[in-house]
Chain A
Amino acid sequence: MRFQGSPQPVPYAAHTSNRVPNVAGYGPQYQTFAGTVPMHPLGPSVPLVPNLTAWGVNDATAQMGMQFGRSAVAAGQDYVEKNINTYLPVSLLKHQFNVSNSYVLQKLRLVIFPWRHRPWSRQVRKSDAGQNEGWKPPREDINSPDLYIPSMAIVTYVLLAALHAGLQKRFNPEMLGVTSSKAFGVILSDFLIIKLGCYALAISGQGQVVDIFAYSGYKFEGIVVTLLARLLGVRGFLYWAIFLYTFVANAFFMLRSLRYVVLPDPTTSPSNVSVGNSHIVTHSQRGQRRNFLLFVAASQILWMWVLAV
């Protein structure tokens, strides 16, 4: 009975040593996760120990093993948390992914059809004392950028490009990597150029790295629409018309959205996002920044052309 190789599934009625019914159906065939101890009728003070007598381990040893495992997993979780917090701005990412269904639908419609939207400024979240403490999350503010739509759009773009190649009988699995590398290359180049321009023009860059990634990811939605048109068989003039329309819509969306980033308005920004290096932006500087904004919006067509063709 002791050494049977892997323990055979014991029928539930044979668990005569445990009169308390095991909540999760513990038995020798189940592994336990030390970090998640489910509640059972005796309360949390009595740890739930699996019945390991089939493996030749009596109760005391099993309890010690459980304790050891539990503390090991807790230590591992602490280590991971400490290191993740230094490499990834987790709270910032959580803010970007805090979206709701209605937000996603409205934002998708906004990127394709931004002409009639009226207020483009981001809203500030006020704490109870009336202090500004950061932007409102995307759930409550349609103008806030998010990372959910761009990441979904990139994945959709890679899959659609693969589908398109498969329909033309020129698919091989390597092109999935090539296409995603091309998408990341475009995003990285876009980000570098915008960051360089922001540095040259002394535009403040606090907490804006993730926002730049979000804004440069919105063009993938237009590219997905263009690819869908191509998959449906649209060719020639109409295809290029759709491509140009999505580019113009995306450029307009970027112009309106980035206007408040590049030409910040000190009265409506939260206090933890600094507003430029000096609060005086001269007229020539405003002209420079506006030209930079136009250049960024116009350069999107280069990226969209690289991706869509």
Chain B
Amino acid sequence: MALGFGTIIYVSLLLTNAIAILSEERFLAGVIGWSTTQPQPATYDPNGFGEAGGPGVKARIIVLISAVRTLLRMPLIFCNLVLIFYELILG
């Protein structure tokens, strides 16, 4: 399956699925140090005079993962259904 537009769609859908089904207590808390109740020390200061450099790379990726999990669950179900029907009916 060579690199192409459809391949990118498939790969991104599978990767997003993978992010969505990670188990929180087994994987994210232990390995990555995920914490949904972590206090943010003054990083929302609009002037930017808070902690220099903002939240940092790891924190931003954790925010991204949690956002993907909460926001994209429903659309992911829908996209998966569409893809399954496409594969079943149109080969």
Contacts and interface: CB of A to CB of B under 8 A. Distances in A.
B5 A181 contact: yes
Interface of chain A, helix or strand or loop or mixed? helix
Interface residues of B, number: 19
Interface stretch (A25-33, A121-129, A237-245, A277-285): A277-285
Nearest to A288: B57
A178 B7 CA distance: 11
A182 B4 CA distance: 4
Contacts, number: 52
Contact of A202 (B4, B50, B60): B60
B60 to A, nearest CB: 6
Interface residues of A, number: 23
B3 A280 contact: no
B8 A189 contact: yes
A129 B84 CA distance: 58
Contacts of B50: 278
Closest 9 CB pairs of A and B: A278-B48, A181-B4, A282-B53, A181-B5, A185-B4, A185-B3, A184-B5, A280-B52, A185-B8
Contacts of A223: none
Interface in B48-79: 48-50, 52-55, 57, 60-61, 64
A200 interface: yes
Contact of B54 (A178, A188, A202): A202
A280 B57 CA distance: 16
A199 B5 contact: no
